[in-house]
Chain A
Amino acid sequence: MLSSNGKLILLHKGLNSIPKASKYDLLLSPEFYISKIEKLPVKYSFQAKKLAPSILEDSLPTNNIYEYFVKKDANSWQLFAYSPKEIEEFLKSCCKIDANKIGNIYFADQLKDILVKVPVGVDEKNALTLIDGKATIVPRSMLTSQNYAKFTSKLRPKKAFKFHLASKSSKDSKLDKNSIIVSVLLSLIAIAFIVEGISYKKALKQEEEKTANLLSNNPSLQGKMIRDSIKNKYEKIEKRERSIRELLNKYSQLSSKKSVLEKLNIEGNKLVAQFNVEPNEINHILSIAKTINLKATKLGSNKVQVEGVLK
């Protein structure tokens, strides 16, 4: 059961004004819906609701979209179909009421218990009554009864149905607004990721430009193979020449007044030096040579040969 808190209006084709309210519940006259009572081999209302379109399709014009409701009625099912669009358009044209203000709807057939006793006045000329067990609007002049029940909110049927909007200014479109907000947010995050992705590309381009600048200053180093070949060539020279200079530096540490250089030669991959050393200095020279990682050999009583390997 749905809550019924809107102003209850009997919606019929002769309606031309409605008192102002924030929300309306509509009791649809038979002019706005089709109903049928059928015995269906189903137990639950959702099963009956599934069958309703095929049962009612013959009675409905094909150019509209319909909403279906079902109501258990003793051993059979009462099926209702209405066009939300038709109701929305009518409310707009007759009373300038926006469809968003419609809360629940009821069907005139739900007033059977009352209509069986007394017709309900629709307007000054027409009344709602039961004909062949179905709610029908007829001219008052056709009725024998002079008593009419006044349509008030007290006549509100127990079971209410939620009105399903069809127009764009509907609750669905409100949901659409939320969806749009969510999708915009998601898209913004996505764009942020794309921008970040592109920024990586830009950063890479900048790095490539730096490399290109470096290469433009060294045009002979464009190719990797050329660079490798130059590197191999000069690295070999660099190692050998640095070791020559390091050894010359070490040999100069061994040279003093008591230890005089006699010979120095590059012999293959060695730099060999011979020192004339005072006999009492020999051990000292040998220990210094050992400390600075040189191979030192004593030659005779006053000569020391020192060797260093060239890299």
Chain B
Amino acid sequence: MSKSKILIALSILFLIGSVAFDFSQKKSFANSLQNIKDERTQIAYVADLKALWGAKGMKSKLTRVINSIPSSKKKNFLVKRNKAEIKLVSLSDRELNRVLSKLANLPLEFRKLSVVKSGDNFDLECTCVW
């Protein structure tokens, strides 16, 4: 075999090798990229969940909501670590709506929620954690 033929044969081998390298990289890139994107989506999703339901400073936010109710109607408001026990009595329907909607807007986990009509007013009892 002449030198030129050997040269061309080597070049063709080089080309085949590089095409195979490119193909393998492309394939592994596609697989890895999908995995990486899935991982990133999961991290972002979990981080969002954690940020939402593991939010800090909940005690002060909750205190602000409860303090918007006249103190005469606050029968119980006890916060222990990340748990709060609330009992509000004689709430007008407007007050009840306001407190309920504000509590619902906070990322709290309701363990107990009870509303009972008493005369023209309402009593609200709730235990929540965060």
Contact = CB atoms under 8 A, between A and B. Distances in A.
Interface of A: 172, 175-176, 178-180, 182-183, 186-187, 189-191, 193-194, 196-198, 200-201, 203-204, 207-208, 210-211, 214-215, 217-218, 220-221, 224, 227, 230-231, 234-235, 237-238, 240-241, 244-245, 248, 252, 260-266, 271, 276
A interface, over-half SS: helix
10 contacts: A176-B4, A183-B7, A187-B15, A190-B14, A204-B33, A234-B54, A237-B53, A237-B109, A261-B122, A265-B114
Given A176-B3, A252-B97, A235 B113 contact: no
Nearest to B3: A176
Interface in B9-26: 10-12, 14-15, 17-19, 21-22, 24-26
Interface residues of B, number: 52
Contact of B11 (A187, A248, A266): A187
B113 A264 contact: yes
Given A214-B43, A227-B42, A266-B110, A186 B117 contact: no
B104 A245 contact: yes
A256 to B, nearest CB: 11
Given A186-B12, A230-B49, A265-B113, A211 B18 contact: no
Contacts of B110: 241, 244, 266
Contact of A221 (B18, B32, B47, B117): B47
B59 interface: no
Contacts of A260: 117
Contacts of A264: 113-116
A193 B4 contact: no
Given A190-B18, A204-B32, A227 B116 contact: no
Contact of B18 (A191, A240, A244, A265): A191
A186 to B, nearest CB: 4
B78 interface: no
Interface string B23-52: 011101100110011011011111101101
